[in-house]
Structure 1
Amino acid sequence: MIAIARFEVPLAESTAFAGEIKIAYEALASCAGFIDGEFGQNLDQSTLWALVTRWENVGSYRRALSAMRTKLEAIPLLARSIDEPGAYEIN
């Protein structure tokens, strides 16, 4: 499965946000069931960012969201994401 979180970030906050999203990514990447992922800034609308992660299954993703490191380092950032569905099953 993949999880996609998109963010609307004012340009003045881009540098700080880049550091925050890297920390959140690393926290998620440390969890069991993480396969890979990436994050970046939109090329056409530079206030949009995305964090995309791939997981073995939905259970491993949900357990990762409950992990202490994730709660401390990723959830505060994920709470700022655009409110839209973000979990997708890959065929």
Structure 2
Amino acid sequence: MIVVNRFRVPVADGETFRADLATAHEALAACAGYAGGEIGRNVDDPELWVLSTRWENVGSYRRALSSYDVKLRAVMVLGRAIEEPSAYELVGPGTTLNIESPRSLG
């Protein structure tokens, strides 16, 4: 699966944010199921940043978010993400796609 977190950060705060985002990325990368990731900044809008990560499966990603180290080193910066859906399933030829359904009963 792919997770795309986008952030809007004033240019003046960019270097501090970059360091904080790198720390968050390092914490996530240390978790089981992490398969890769990148930090980027938009070429046309320097206030727009992205953290893109790849995971073996959705469970790995969710467990990573629950880990103590991620809560300590990443949650504060991830909480600054633009509020939008961020988890994507990989789609290839013949892939059975996820069916939209409620995640809980109440």
TM-score scaled by length of structure 1: 0.99
Give the number of aligned pairs.
Answer: 91
What one-letter code is carried by the residue in structure 1 that aligns with 2:65? L
The AA in structure 2 aligned to 1:14 is G
Is 2:70 the counterpart of 1:70?
Answer: yes
Which 4+ residue blocks in structure 1 deviate beyond 2 angstroms? Answer: none
Structure of higher RCO (CA pairs closer than 8 Å, 6+ residues apart): 1
RMSD between aligned residues? 0.4
Measured in 2, the distance between the counterparts of 1:49 and 1:81 equals 9
TM-score, length-normalised on structure 2? 0.85
* 2:9 is the counterpart of 1:9: yes
Q: Which residue of 2 aligns with 1:90?
A: 90
Instruction: Please state whether the residue corresponding to 1:6 is helix, strand or coil.
Output: strand
> For 2:73 and 2:4, how far apart are their aligned partners in 1?
17
Partners of 1:67 and 1:4 in 2: how far apart? 19
